[in-house]
Amino acid sequence: MPSRRPPYLLLAPFFTVLALFWLVPLARGLMTSLHADTLFGEATFAGLANYRALLGDTRFWHALRNTVLYCAMVLAAVLPVSLLFAHLLRRVWPPLRGPIQFSLLLPGLTPPLVLALLYLFVFHGPRGLLNETFLHPFGLPGLDWIGDPRLIKFSLVLLMLWRWTGFMTLIFLSGLEGVPRAYHDAARIEGASAWQRLRQVTLPVLRPVTAFAAAFLLIDAFVLFEGAYVLLGGSGGTLDAGLLLVNYGYFTAFTLGNFGTAAAMSFTSIPLLLMALFAILSTGRSPRARKTMDAAEALP
């Protein structure tokens, strides 16, 4: 009987690195959340006091609402635009498709800090590039994109739209290229229009791809730090309209020195993120897509 030890030995380095750089910090963070607000030196055990303090922290609940709304806005903006671009890219002259795909990847490859600094030149103040290019030439007043509390969230969403639309477009393009033509032929035989084929064939088949893209965007939006920190100067902006959980946690820990409260804040948000990810990934299963595949395979 062959020995099963070698596979586990080969996996040992991976699990060692996982324990050192993920499990150990996670356990250390959990212990910090259960102690008084200190990171260095002696810390007294506080139990769930830091978690109870969050219940009365109105700014924490405001940051939580902002984060949930911001993540929903990112998904609602990036996914449809990326799917539209993927459809258009399929109709591009093939020799041009490669350079266009490479250019679409550039914003996603740019470090978030650099992207946020470039973003300042585009949206900062009345003389920003966006105002100078699209508003002032038509006699429209400039908008304070990162100062007006009504526009701060939209500015952060535009930053994510700018950064990830190209990458998500390539993901959807790969999914579209993987949809067999027979599925659309089956829908045409049944008299389906182009819109009906998109809604009843393409979108159901792409549901696993869409779930992956949504999960990726949700995690990135939930942990967004550099962009919001640079654009809003380390705060939540006017009236805390752009205050997100990760930024408030950083402010609580490294400005106020309340490390235990900041750690409790992080562990409080983890179940919310996991539930959202589970809800998104569970939509990747598509019974309608299975029916479409069965109908296509039944064609002569």
Determine, yes or no, domain membership for 20.
Answer: no
Determine, yes or no, domain membership for 9.
Answer: no
Determine, yes or no, domain membership for 155.
Answer: yes
Determine, yes or no, domain membership for 158.
Answer: yes
pLDDT value of residue 296: 47
Burial class (CB in 10 A: 0-12, 13-18, 19+), 23: exposed
In order, the DSSP letters of 217-279 are HHHHHHT--HHHHHHTTTS--GGGTT--HHHHHHHHHHTS--HHHHHHHHHHHHHHHHHHHHH
- pLDDT band at 39; cut points 50, 70, 90: low
Task: Give residue-wise pLDDT tens across range 157-179.
Answer: 988 898 899 899 999 998 888 87
Task: Give residue-wise pLDDT tens across range 136-157.
Answer: 788 888 888 888 888 889 888 9
pLDDT value of residue 66: 94
The pair of three-digit structure tokens given for residue 94, joined into one six-digit string: 């093939």
B/e letters for 75-109, b = 16+ CB within 10 Å, e = fewer, are bebbbeebbebbeebeeeeeeeeeebeeebeebbe
Determine, yes or no, domain membership for 24.
Answer: no
Determine, yes or no, domain membership for 47.
Answer: no
Domain with residue 86: its CATH number is 1.10.3720.10
Could you tell me how many helices (H) and strands (E) the chain has, helices first?
A: 16, 0
Determine, yes or no, domain membership for 17.
Answer: no
pLDDT higher at 224 or 250: 250
- pLDDT band at 107; cut points 50, 70, 90: confident
Q: Which amino acid is at 253?
A: A
The pair of three-digit structure tokens given for residue 211, joined into one six-digit string: 């779930």
| Angle of CA points 11, 17, 21, to nearest 5° | 150
pLDDT value of residue 287: 58
Range of the domain at 116: 58-297
Q: Is the pLDDT of residue 295 over 60?
A: no
Task: Answer yes or no: are the C-beta atoms of 201 and 183 closer than 8 Å.
Answer: yes
Give the number of domains in the chain: 1
Determine, yes or no, domain membership for 81.
Answer: yes
Q: Is the pLDDT of residue 73 over 90?
A: yes
